[in-house]
Amino acid sequence: MFEVIGERINTSRKKVQEAVAKRDAGYIIEDVQKQQGAGAAYIDVNAGARIGHETEDMKWLLDTIQPVVTIPLTLDSPDPLVLEAAVAMVEKTPMINSISLEKERFETMMPFLAGKDCKIIALCMDDSGMPKSSDDIIERADILVKELNHIGIATEAIYIDPLVQPISTDSSKGVMVLDAVRGIKAMYPRVHIIGGLSNISYGLPQRKIINRTFITLMMGAGMDSAIIDPLDEKIMAAIKTGDMLLGRDDFCANFLKGVRAGTILS
């Protein structure tokens, strides 16, 4: 089944930052419970926007969120010190967001990840910038999987982000990432493919229909997780319908449940 990582608890969002600054637990609790109820498999927690307060804000968020959800958390920070403190607090195996092949990030994150019981989002980014072709993405994914395997991270715990880029600047970007996902899954069938799909529609009108259409194409290519807003009922309906059509929904049970609940409409 497709895994949705709920993206809403991020202090770059104005209302979340205000709630965190005021230590408004009620706002955070209501939001994460809604995300879980809508079908999120993980709650992403990012406390990085309040400069100088990330560690204390992350700890407060974890203390607030963990007692009220039953799903695991994605710990979202580029700072290993923040992540170390967060990992020590989590009750379920976390997902770490993220590592890349950029030299500084790679060299700080690899020692942190070694020996950790976690899942890891791995970005196909290196110091030369965004990938320019599907071959670039596949090559970077291959390096990431091999390096992470070497420090004890199992292939099935790795979530490769092929870095979706805007189609408004280059009409080939959609096909490029679709081809890359197929190539990665051919090499590593057990690896997961994740991403922030809304980048595809950047700069275009009617972004939501673009995002919904693209997520079904990506699912067909092999993507099995995404960092999105699970409270967007239309994209969640597209995901549940895609799972059914790809044979991942036994007896169409989840699709039919969504129809009965009124969250999947024609």
Look-up of token digits 């009922």:
233
pLDDT in tens, 14-62: 999 999 999 999 999 999 999 999 999 999 999 999 999 999 999 999 9
Domain limits of the chain?
1-92, 93-230
**Is the pLDDT assigned to residue 266 strictly greater than 90?**
no
Tokens 């809508």 belong to 38
Tokens standing for residue 226: 């995404």
Distance of alpha carbon 240 from alpha carbon 193, whole angstroms: 17
- 129: nearest Cα among 137, 121, 120: 137
What confidence tens digit (pLDDT) does each residue in 144-166 have?
A: 999 999 999 999 999 999 999 99
The CATH homologous superfamily of the domain defined by 93-230: Dihydropteroate synthase-like (3.20.20.20)
Rounded to 5 degrees, φ, ψ at 87 are -60, -35
CA distances from 165 to 1, 128, 129, 137, 198 (A): 25, 16, 12, 12, 9
Decide: helix, strand or coil at residue 193: strand
**Contact criterion met (CB below 8 Å) for 26 and 79:** no
Q: Mean pLDDT over all residues of the chain? A: 97
Mean pLDDT within 76-92: 96
**Residue 6 class from Cβ within 10 Å (0-12 exposed, 13-18 middle, 19+ buried)?**
buried
